[in-house]
Structure 1
Amino acid sequence: MKLSALLLFCAASVAQEMNVRTLIFESESSENYVELTPQKPLDLSSFTLCLRVATELPQEDREIILFAYRTQDHDELNLWREFDGRIGLYLRSSGEAAFFTVPALGPMQTHLCVTWESSSGATAVFVDGKKSLTKIYKKSHTVVSGGRVIIGQDPDSYLGDFNSVQSLVGEISDINLWSYVLPDSFIKQMATQTLSPACSGDVIDWKLVNLQIIGNVAHITRNV
């Protein structure tokens, strides 16, 4: 389905009650994680990444990995809550990132999205549907395929090397990845759950994506 047709379909749809899978990481660990198998390779010149997250770890306590995509040689696409509470997007980088000052992530669930577009480098974060300022980051870059998507840990190598003090403690759900930048209005509607559940990511579709759970991670469903 072409992007324009998909957006028209989603705009005309209203979400109905549905079951959403949720992952719960109860304690700090270097062993508990979930690997996602995307619907298609992460070969991206633009994207929208969205998820819902809640944590009781105070922001001054430590950093938290929210999404990790690692190839053999690089951290290809990582999303972090930094020590100071900012959101950091890293694209194949050893320290260079796009940082955004946002309302603190806490025990009340937050809908978080990040958008990036290669030709301009335009990058933005959305928290509960509200957009940040736009920053220019990694212009002309491309996210390459051939890696692993890991939730709950930051792999320092392709096969692991996890650090417990970077792990996610809390709950995460509704992880969707699109190979294009969604309109601001659609992200706002997703935050309030007024879009059809059929409007999921074309790269990672949370309703369909295979989850390989390693260690002590609870996998529940809830009605929304």
Structure 2
Amino acid sequence: MLVWMILWISGVLGQTDMMEKLFAFRKRSTTSYVRLYAELSGPFVEATVCMRFHSNLTQSYCIFSLATPTKHDGFLLYYYPESNALNFYVSNTHLGYDLQDNNFTEWTSICATWSSTARAVWVDGKKYSGSGTPNKDISADPIIILGQQQDTYGGGFQLQDSIVGEMTDVNMWDKALTDDNVIDYFAGNEVSRNVINWKDLRYNLTGDVSIRPYVDPYPCEPV
């Protein structure tokens, strides 16, 4: 009981099934965020992050931030609504993607996958390809943050990077998912996760972040 009380006070809610729940960020700040605790400590030579979210912000914001002791942009997704461009960083090296007719004002599913030979972003099933990052890796002991961009390891938050919106179904793998894997994810099929698992999540809420019910506006029947 004492251990559970310590976890509850600190905000780390243990292993929690977050299915049909979401994180809601109500306003821009430097003090509101969610820290996710990885099941594997790395280092990683491949990785994939998939999630669902939406935001009506018209200024740039961070979607997903993983920092390591040596690289604050270890695995980063950052969006620019004014140009409809997404920057995908791995080990402080980025590729930019013009998302054309895609944007994130409605609920959107996104996957970002990376290896030494290929990098790609999928938005609602549409693939945007790019080159890999040879001789790069994501070093050990990552800190993973939702709601802010880490300009230092675990901190350095700036108001203009924060998000207003909602996030759900955040998952991470220590491998580059295949095209078929990603299509399965978008179709609602089970793709087992081993770094971050939304169905078995460890997290810590800080500031003005709430947990709310999530009802999928575009439900998929697994096939």
| Residue 174 of structure 1, CA deviation | 0.8
Aligned partner (choices 48, 56, 67) of residue 70 of structure 1: 67
Structure 1 letter corresponding to 2:110: L
CA contact under 8 A between 1:73 and 1:157: conserved in structure 2?
no
1:179 Cα deviation from its structure 2 partner: 1.2
Amino acid at match of 1:23: F
Q: Indicate the RMSD between aligned Cα atoms, in angstroms.
A: 1.8
Q: Which runs of 4+ in 1 moved over 4 A?
A: none
| Unaligned ranges ≥5, structure 2 | 1-17, 217-223
Q: Is the 8 A contact 1:39 1:209 kept in 2?
A: no
Partner of 2:46: 46
Whether contact under 8 Å (2:19, 2:169) holds in the other structure is no
1:189 alignment partner in structure 2: 184
Identity of aligned residues (%): 26
Task: Write the distance in 2 (CA, Å) between the matches of 1:81 and 1:23.
Answer: 18
Deviations 1:37-85 (A, max 9, x none): 0111132111121111100112xxx211111111233212111113522
- Counterpart secondary structure, 2:183: helix
* Shift of residue 183, structure 1, vs aligned partner: 2.1
C-alpha spacing 1:137/1:185, structure 2 compared with 1 (3 Å):
closer
Calculate the TM-score normalised by the size of structure 1.
Answer: 0.81
The structure-2 alpha-carbon separation of the partners of 1:155 and 1:19, relative to structure 1 and needing over 3 Å to count, comes to closer
The CA deviation at 1:159 is: 3.8
Any idea what SS the aligned residue of 1:57 has?
Answer: coil
| Alpha-carbon shift at residue 28 of structure 1 (Å) | 0.8
Partners of 2:204 and 2:126 lie apart in 1 by 32
Unaligned runs of 5+ in 1: 1-17
1:36 paired residue number: 36
Report the TM-score when normalising by structure 2: 0.81
What is the aligned partner in structure 1 of residue 108 from structure 2? 110
Q: Tell me the matched-pair count.
A: 196
Q: CA deviation at 1:208?
A: 1.0
Distance of aligned partners of 1:183 and 1:91 in 2 relative to their CA distance in 1, 3 Å threshold = closer
Equivalent residue number for residue 201 of structure 1? 193
Aligned to 2:15: none
Equivalent residue for 1:9? none
